[in-house]
Amino acid sequence: MLDKTLSPASFEQRLYEGWEAAGRFGAHPESPAAPFTIMIPPPNVTGSLHIGHALTFTIQDTLIRWRRMQGRDALWQPGTDHAGIATQMVVERLLATQGVDRREIGREKFLEHVWEWKGQSGGSITRQLRRLGASLDWPRERFTMDEGLSEAVREVFVTLHRQGLIYRDRRLVNWDPKFQTAISDLEVESREVKGSLWHLRYPVEGEAGRFIVVATTRPETMLGDTAIAVHPEDERFRDLIGQFAILPLVGRRIPIVADEYSDPEKGSGAVKITPAHDFNDFAVGKRHGLAMPSVLDADGRVFLDEIAGDIAALPGVTEPDFVRALAGKDRFAARKEIIAELERLDLVEKIEPHTHAVPHGDRSGVPIEPRLTMQWYCDAATLAKPAIEAVETGRTEFVPKHFENIFFSWMRDIQPWCISRQLWWGHQIPAWYAPDGSVFVARTEEEALAEARAKLGADVTLTRDPDVLDTWFSSALWPFSTLGWPTKTAELAKYYPGDVLVTGWDIIFFWVARMMMMGLHFMGDVPFRTVYIHGLVRDEKGQKMSKSKGNVIDPLELVDSFGADALRFTIASLATPGRDVKLGRKRVEDFRSFGTKLWNAARFCEMNGIAPDAGFDPAAVRTPLARWILDAANTAIAEANAALEAYRMDDYASACYRFVWNSFCDWFLEFAKPALNGEDGPEKAEVKGAAQHVLGTILKLLHPVMPYLTEELWARLGYGAEGTLMVTAWPQPIAIPGAAEARAELDWVVGLVSAVRGVRAEMNVPPSVTVPLLAQGAAAETLARGARWIEAIRRLGRATGFHPLEGEAPKGVAQVVVGEATILLPLAEVIDLAAERARLAKERDKAAAEGAKVEQKLANADFVARAKPEVVEENRERLAAYQAEVARLEAALARIAE
């Protein structure tokens, strides 16, 4: 016997362990079944499950369980990501609390600490995924830094290098002074900063007293200025083009050049050019062959080595001692001092308040410093071309479609991808340097050494590039590296390309685009056929969740409180493609009642001896009620399938919800009660048969989204003879003979009961008052239905009987129109006749108004001529129905006229 209350905690863990122990999650490469593959977006190995994970993994698990039940050989590939910067950061912080600096202990020791940390906390995310019910193929779990994936990384790097698609280059990078590493364009985010726009006077060489004014937001970079640019057409500066200015403080002679980059509308119209510290200036510098001295170091401190020779004494303009004293000062401290000094020299024209966007490191949160350094780059533009084409031709499709435009706009203007990071945690770049500076890229040190010896002689020694690769480099290989590539495994042959990639829009560029590029380049095919993009989880107010705002909700706490199924069902219900999901604790609490409802319905079935019956044949039943619910189940199956095919988790959830709650519980079980309480016989047997069959169908339909509850009920109610629900066949619609008639009949009963309930409630008839229903103008079929359904009508309509009206109508009646008949409820003692007249008049007016609208439409010759014939016909029918209803309501009114 099922417990009176549903307590998910009592079975979730047990069920999961059972599934896992029995190997239910495993894919079967040797099976002839068609594969269905989802690659997990690997979470950070040391991370913990957050609500965003709950969203994405609920969707993935729902899809994978559904396809698995459909008989596909489902692979949901698990794994975790080493998450370079994030993990290194965490461990560095941890060590800092013990007073340890990574630079003191060195690379090797530090990496030991990271691996140790990974060992400690690495399992937590996968344990948490299990609690959510995620049916991942655990024995296949991979880690982006395990040996196989590392081999894939080396292979890809070496291959792309040989193909010229990976190269070293000295150019400006986004340098994160906090983490002391280069980062890619994507890891930079703009933040609005309130600053100042300083207008500085640079003396014009040879014209005493003449200045050219430049405007800047970054005065500290002036030490590295090597030119001033003006627009070639700007009259104000035309005579200065080709002349030189003197860089204040330093004394360097810098040319005034004409360049279209200079915008006469901005600032003073003349712009100082610091090629080593600004991306635009770098471009200008290249065009004009300017020197590019760096004046800030890796820490963002003033660095004078490259300009030492330029520092000159020029009274009133330069201050060599001041400049030398700046060495080693932080960029923002230097800014203040430089301004003060320039003011002292009267070289500041004016200062304007200025709000502008400043690039910040997305993880460090500090302003990025463009720096001229040697880094490794990947030629993304070349790799992007096939990826763009694959989406254009539909080989990979985005859901929703409009994300394709976002993908295109980025891919078509893609910049070289800086892939080297000055970190320790990650895949160390397989490149070795000889003392003469030549580079050897190879899979192993031996290979590199062999090459180097062949070229430079036997006694050459090599030093490995200390840098590691961008974390996303290994993630980009995930769809094939996890399957064993570069080895040609059976898995690779069967599960690549994957079917659908499920992820949030925030990592389309970071990850989706790069998997497309690498997949096409190395596998010759797209990594997945569909990219399903979901939104981000926000709090009830639509705010992004963050620890600092304190609005984070913990999915595991929700699982503890309401069960994993409640959380999953809530998420599915709210998951509209591409749209962000507003989720609060309350939403989950609300949806929890659905599981309870199902539990109680199952409990009711159990109490009534409704037990699984493998011999039941749905196509053979004759009882209209049985036919009706079996037919409704068919509709639910079709709706669920259509919704899942279209990645509409919300529609799938709501189709199940409506079917279970409204069709099965509210009507079917209520209608079934008289039969269930009655004598044994064919009708009772069929109703019970249909009930057990449909309940089984419900459990199957809901299993993908509510795996625990459905599996538990499956076993507890005895469906387990067919095996574990999670690998039971997905339900198929079964043709039900006479379904249309059954529908018509049940629709009538539902209509009658609803109408009677409605009028009783509106007339404030106490539930204790029961009356006969007198049918006036009822067709023979209606009277027959009334007779067949008398028990249900009595019970649900609180009626004593259903009879044709004979003779005169009683004086005090409430009346409702149901189909062609008017139903009279003799309630003289109970109701207020005036109120009933008013109610009927209102009903009549409503019907008349609706009718008038339809009539007007039909009076329009254009409508009749141009609208689809079936639409016209439908409207004619509606008009007739309204007219008939008005007539019946008129008659009802006449019957109780004063």
- Least CB distance to RNA at residue 195 (A): 7
What DSSP state is assigned to residue 813? E
- Least CB distance to RNA at residue 281 (A): 8
- Least CB distance to RNA at residue 617 (A): 26
Interface with RNA, residue 590, by CB under 7 A: yes
Closer residue to RNA (CB): 27 or 284: 284
Residues 682-741 that bind RNA (CB under 7 A): none
Site size toward RNA, by CB under 7 A: 91
Residues 220-239 that bind RNA (CB under 7 A): 229
For residue 769, how far is the Cα from the chain centroid?
Answer: 54
How many Å apart are CA 645 and CA 633, to the nearest integer?
18
> In the stretch 744-783, what mask flags binding to RNA with x, by CB under 7 A?
----------x--xx--xx-x-xx----------------
Interface with RNA, residue 263, by CB under 7 A: yes
Choices 81-89, 349-357, 619-627, 690-698 (CB under 7 A): range interacting with RNA: 349-357
State the pairing for strand pair 142-143/79-80. parallel
Q: Looking at the DSSP assignment, which residues form a beta bridge with residue 440?
A: 432
- Radius of gyration for the chain, computed over Cα atoms and rounded to the nearest angstrom: 38
Residues 256 and 207: beta-carbon distance below 8 Å: no
- Residue selected from 70, 217, 530, 551 as contacting RNA according to rule CB under 7 A: 217
Task: Name which of 447, 438, 489, 492 is nearest 465 in CA terms.
Answer: 438
Residues 798-857 that bind RNA (CB under 7 A): 850, 857
Choices 101-109, 159-167, 580-588, 889-897 (CB under 7 A): range interacting with RNA: 580-588
Closer residue to RNA (CB): 584 or 810: 584
139: left (phi over 0), alpha (psi -120 to 50) or beta: alpha
State the pairing for strand pair 463-464/270-273. unpaired
Residues 812 and 831: beta-carbon distance below 8 Å: yes
Classify 205 as helix, strand or coil: coil
- Least CB distance to RNA at residue 587 (A): 7
- Residue selected from 863, 884, 890, 891 as contacting RNA according to rule CB under 7 A: 863
Task: Name which of 328, 349, 313, 370 is nearest 176 in CA terms.
Answer: 370
Closer residue to RNA (CB): 352 or 617: 352
For residue 150, how far is the Cα from the chain centroid?
Answer: 28
Closer residue to RNA (CB): 31 or 405: 405
For residue 664, how far is the Cα from the chain centroid?
Answer: 32
- Least CB distance to RNA at residue 130 (A): 24
Interface with RNA, residue 218, by CB under 7 A: yes
Closer residue to RNA (CB): 104 or 540: 540
- Residue selected from 305, 343, 389, 540 as contacting RNA according to rule CB under 7 A: 540
- Least CB distance to RNA at residue 114 (A): 28
- Residue selected from 359, 484, 555, 826 as contacting RNA according to rule CB under 7 A: 359
Neighbouring residues of 526: CB distance < 8 A, sequence distance ≥ 6: 390, 395, 396, 497, 516, 519, 520
Closer residue to RNA (CB): 495 or 657: 657
Residues 160-199 that bind RNA (CB under 7 A): 185-186, 188-190, 197
Residues 650-689 that bind RNA (CB under 7 A): 650-651, 654, 657, 661, 665-666, 669-670, 673
How many Å apart are CA 529 and CA 536, to the nearest integer?
22
Interface with RNA, residue 604, by CB under 7 A: yes
Residues 309-328 that bind RNA (CB under 7 A): none
- Least CB distance to RNA at residue 5 (A): 6
Closer residue to RNA (CB): 803 or 857: 857
| Location of structure tokens 């703009």 | 190
Choices 203-211, 333-341, 859-867, 885-893 (CB under 7 A): range interacting with RNA: 859-867
- Least CB distance to RNA at residue 136 (A): 28
Closer residue to RNA (CB): 486 or 751: 751
- Least CB distance to RNA at residue 395 (A): 22
Q: Kindly provide the b/e burial profile for residues 329-342, where b requires at least 16 CB atoms within 10 angstroms of the residue's own CB.
A: bebeebbebbbebb
- Residue selected from 162, 412, 549, 866 as contacting RNA according to rule CB under 7 A: 866
Interface with RNA, residue 216, by CB under 7 A: yes
For residue 278, how far is the Cα from the chain centroid?
Answer: 35
| Cβ count near 219 (within 10 Å) | 22
- Least CB distance to RNA at residue 566 (A): 8
Neighbouring residues of 706: CB distance < 8 A, sequence distance ≥ 6: 565, 568, 569, 595, 598
- Least CB distance to RNA at residue 47 (A): 21
What DSSP state is assigned to residue 295? -
How many Å apart are CA 501 and CA 521, to the nearest integer?
18
Task: Name which of 289, 285, 313 is nearest 221 in CA terms.
Answer: 285
Interface with RNA, residue 639, by CB under 7 A: no
Closer residue to RNA (CB): 327 or 406: 406
- Residue selected from 558, 574, 687, 778 as contacting RNA according to rule CB under 7 A: 574
Amino acid 879 reads L
- Least CB distance to RNA at residue 892 (A): 17
- Residue selected from 600, 635, 770, 883 as contacting RNA according to rule CB under 7 A: 600
Interface with RNA, residue 582, by CB under 7 A: yes
Interface with RNA, residue 579, by CB under 7 A: yes
Residues 24-43 that bind RNA (CB under 7 A): none
Classify 435 as helix, strand or coil: coil
Choices 119-127, 149-157, 239-247, 862-870 (CB under 7 A): range interacting with RNA: 862-870
> In the stretch 277-306, what mask flags binding to RNA with x, by CB under 7 A?
-xxx--------------------------
Closer residue to RNA (CB): 37 or 641: 641
Closer residue to RNA (CB): 424 or 657: 657
Interface with RNA, residue 353, by CB under 7 A: no
> In the stretch 135-164, what mask flags binding to RNA with x, by CB under 7 A?
------------------------------
How many Å apart are CA 767 and CA 262, to the nearest integer?
84
Q: Which long-range contacts (CB under 8 A, 24 or more apart) does 260-264 make?
A: 260/231, 260/232, 261/229, 262/229, 262/230, 262/231, 262/234, 263/231, 264/231, 264/233, 264/234, 264/236
Strands of 250-365, DSSP E? 253-258, 270-273, 348-361
Residues 514-533 that bind RNA (CB under 7 A): none
Neighbouring residues of 101: CB distance < 8 A, sequence distance ≥ 6: 95
Task: Name which of 634, 603, 609 is nearest 619 in CA terms.
Answer: 634
Residues 438-497 that bind RNA (CB under 7 A): none
Classify 477 as helix, strand or coil: coil
Q: Which long-range contacts (CB under 8 A, 24 or more apart) does 611-614 make?
A: 611/692, 611/717, 611/718, 612/692, 612/696, 612/717, 612/718, 612/719, 612/721, 612/722, 613/688, 613/689, 613/692, 613/693, 614/721, 614/722
Choices 161-169, 335-343, 367-375, 695-703 (CB under 7 A): range interacting with RNA: 367-375
Interface with RNA, residue 59, by CB under 7 A: no
Residues 369-398 that bind RNA (CB under 7 A): 369-370
Closer residue to RNA (CB): 13 or 654: 654
Choices 50-58, 117-125, 142-150, 593-601 (CB under 7 A): range interacting with RNA: 593-601
**Beta strands across the sheet bearing 211-216:** 211-216, 188-203, 348-361
- Residue selected from 744, 835, 871, 880 as contacting RNA according to rule CB under 7 A: 871
